[in-house]
Amino acid sequence: MNALDVIRTKRDGGELTDAQIRFFLDGYTAGRIPDEQTSALLMAIVFRGLTARELATWTATMIDSGARLDLSSISRPTVDKHSTGGVGDKVSLPLCPLVAACGAAVPQLSGRGLGHTGGTLDKLEAIPGWRARLGNEEVLRILRDVGAVICAASDDLAPADRKLYALRDVTGTVESIPLIASSIMSKKIAEGTSALVLDVKTGGGAFLPPIEKARELAQTMVGIGERNGVRTVALITDMEWPLGRTAGNGLEVAEAVEVLAGGGPSDVVEVTLALAREMVALAGLHADPAAMLASGRAMDVWRAMIRAQGGDPDAPLPQATERELVRATTTGTLQHLDARAVGNAAWRLGAGRARKEDPVSPSAGVRILVKPGEPVSTGQPLLELLTDDVARIPDALIALADAFVVSHAPFRPRLLVHERLSQ
């Protein structure tokens, strides 16, 4: 058996055997199969897909590539959440401490930015001193003491996925239902949580914009979770427009803290509470997340969680040195703000990465000054672009060239939560 035969089989529309899948993923994880050959197989999967059997074996092999986290010592019920990624989606930041304040233990293994979307770990690393890398014993201690932890998967937890995740980001192979589903679920199953709520995005800023694709992805992941003994529910939520009023690492942390303080954008609050209610229900708890958020106890958990991971919740966040305003060219109501365009602009300003080894800027990003449905007049600032490198601004402006629709037509709001799926 060799890597070229596996690539050719999938390229030509054939079905990989269990042995071929295990051979290839084990070889890539161990460094015997290089990035270029793995990229070729990933691209073949993007075009040819995986059968249900192939996907089951692919996911199981990624889980088996490392250890599983044992959460049996945690006295609280365990529940986690995962988002498929969006623009301005900082929901994990207030959600995890909120659900922990309701009585659950939330062991959230998060990732870096992929393509035009931000990564939860990149955002939290804007907080001075905060650490994403924790040992398994440290994770368990924080869960026992605080109730919530957001961290990177340890080196021995689904290492195959860690390597594939970074490679997909820079090879145009993110937008694939089997690759997305297996990546997410291998980590979530390996982390040992008993229940999982999935936030599957739909709309122009999602990796899979059509709601039919979002539904297929949600159903695929719910099925994987249930077959592996993890109670799983999915919400399909909207990502046609950016969530909240910021897109960028430190900017989104600041907005998440506003939510925990009882304020923040209404759309971020609505999605946070919708997911929290599902998580609390799956955990078998009877707390009211809205009341818990209003009480301030979620903020207390946030501060404890940040300190437990080496961060200073009171430290000022990094500030960009360069700014540029994008202004309206006409008068009317802002009907549309393209989430993907805003995400690409934030990426070009330095908030994302073009190569897997690239650093990201904690201060770069986009501040959204006008949301869809709000009135605008000619010359009014719509967006504020923030960066530490003024040379990045022209490319960001190009990304935003067709991002706005302003007219006098009646505004049609979109649902934030479209559907709920379970088995």
Catalytic residues, which ones? 82, 161, 168, 183, 187
Cα separation values, 84 from 75, 115, 296, 301, Å: 29, 12, 28, 25
Q: Residue 159 is which amino acid?
A: P
Close Cβ partners of 224 (under 8 Å, ≥ 6 residues apart): 55, 56, 59, 181, 182, 185, 189, 232
Q: Is 103 exposed, middle or buried (0-12, 13-18, 19+ CB in 10 A)?
A: middle
Assess contact for 90 and 244: CB atoms under 8 A. yes
Q: In whole angstroms, what is the distance from residue 291 CA to residue 309 CA?
A: 27
Chain position carrying tokens 């800023």: 205
Q: Residue 126 is which amino acid?
A: A
Sequential DSSP letters for 158-196: SHHHHHHHHHHHTTT----HHHHHHHHHHHHHHTT-SEE
